[in-house]
Amino acid sequence: MEFHATTAPAGAQRTGCAVVGVYEGGELSAAAQALDAAAGGLISRVIRRGDFSGKAGESLPIADLGGGKVERALLVGLGPRKEYSRKSLRRAATAAAEWLKKSGARDAVLYVAGEQPAGVDAYHASRLSALAVASAFYRIPDLKSGKKPPAPKLAKLGVAINERGEAALARRGLAEAGGIARGMALSRDLANLPANVCTPTYLATRARGLARTHRTLRVRILEARDMKRLGMGSLLSVTQGSDQPPKLIVLEYRGGKAGRAPVALVGKGVTFDTGGISLKQPPGMDEMKFDMSGAASVFGAIEAIASMKAPVNVVGIVPACENMPSGRATKPGDVFTSMSGKTIEVLNTDAEGRLILCDAITYARRYKPRAVVDIATLTGACVIALGAHYSGLFSPDAGLRRELEHAGERTDDPAWPMPVAEEYADLLKSNFADLANVAGREAGAITAACFLWRFADGLRWAHLDVAGTAYLTGARKGSTGRPVPLLVDWLLAQA
């Protein structure tokens, strides 16, 4: 979809659909008032008849405005004026998108973006609105037989702003929204594919495809023999039960100054997780195709910044493999030597994500990165702690923790700070190795982060546990594309 900024008042610009907001109680927004005047009071009459109340998320189309430059209008509810917030704006934009993608409109103007909540400027209002629309328009890769549903007709979306002097801000916000939307779509596509399609080899192929698309991107694929040569015994311990060959995928984006240290993103890429010998329960195991969502978010973030030509250097590192039970699979109690030289006693083979990430974090050191952020659907404990709304954010570096937290706030992709402390790390002691891969039942998300912390010594490091936020379950099952918006906003801030 093509986004553009406009300063023309509602009713003065030719469009297939003008989307205007109404506050709860029937109070017209400034744009709705302008359109109402151009339409001879039609919107006011609709409100007086009681057909539309303005409740948050409500929508009502008006098919014919009686001539003029606007073919049709869509009223969207903004909720109570005194409670209007960025959440209200996002909800209104999403409601508009849900109707627009079913309509016959080929272009539209989103005037609700001009209703900027307190503390939200034209840049953030435009980016937020466009991202909400793009997310609503996403379509899951359709592997069903038979006739495919028709694609939405909407191709162009104008985002209205009130002040001409803010047009440049709005255009920058829309450009970033377009890049983030492309990154989120790629991330969601990869995660939504079934595990018999999206294998480690498939991810490697897609990485090479990205490099062909973006000249600033270089890809390196390490095979099992390369990992063995590097001493990645921890990573290889996870994959030895699978017939799918593992891949360590390295994506180097060079958009910043030559020689400037990169930021490293490390994404967990377990394309299917059975739990290994510590086998998971059958209900819900199909969702373990989403266990590579951390890897998918790294792909998405790289796609986003490469498409924007962002002036920053980034290296994305994706350890990709399957975790399967077999006669060759790792057994509880086995001990392996990681790339760092630390030995690990594997007490639970279903705690495999940390075993592949620790070697990938060690590998990241060769780039002398300014910061390392790993992203993983790491623990069910994080889902219990934070649910599906906040990602878990772990870092001993207060500055980095605040940077990532603020990036999540700016993009409505929030992360909640969690502790990293020696008291929790001490729970990982082992009688037979330098450390165990699990501790007790308590504080599972924290001890998992502390395991990774043991391999990030001396690095400016953070860990995002996205087990609850990267995908939805139930009737709305599918990838969310998170935390691509958070990561991209943070990367842009580094630039």
Residues acting as catalytic residues:
280, 354
Instruction: Assign 475 to helix, strand or coil.
Output: helix
If one counts every other C-beta atom within 10 angstroms of the C-beta of residue 381, the result is 19
Nearest to 96 by CA among 188, 32, 17: 17
- Identify the helix (H) or strand (E) that includes residue 361: helix 353-364
Q: Which of 233, 235, 226 is nearest to 319 (CA)?
A: 235
Q: In sequence order, what DSSP letters do the residues of 438-457 get, joined into one string? A: ---STTHHHHHHHHHHTT-T
Integer angstrom CA distances of residue 328 from 188, 200, 236, 281:
32, 19, 12, 21
In this structure, which amino acid lies at residue 387?
G
| 290, 322, 323, 413, 480 from 190: Cα distances, Å | 9, 15, 18, 19, 11
User: Which residues have C-beta within 8 Å of that of residue 31, sequence separation ≥ 6?
Assistant: 9, 10, 18, 20, 21, 111, 112, 114, 115, 160
Contact 287, 467 (CB under 8 A): no
| The token pair that represents 429 in the structure block | 């002691």
- Give the Cα separation of 274 and 235 in Å (integer): 16
Count of other CB atoms within 10 angstroms of residue 202: 18
CB atoms closer than 10 angstroms to residue 208: 15
How far is Cα 70 from Cα 64, in angstroms, rounded to an integer?
Answer: 9
Phi-psi region of 385 (alpha: psi -120 to 50; beta: other; left: phi over 0): alpha
AA identity, residue 238? V
How far out from the chain centre does Cα 155 lie? 23
CA angle in degrees (0–180, nearest 5) for 303-309-311: 115
258 contacts 226 by C-beta, under 8 angstroms: no
| Beta partners for residue 320, in sequence order | 247, 269
SS3 content of the chain, % helix, strand, coil (to 5): 40, 20, 40
CA distances from 348 to 95, 277, 278, 332 (A): 44, 8, 6, 6
For 262, list phi and psi in degrees, rounded to 5. -85, 170
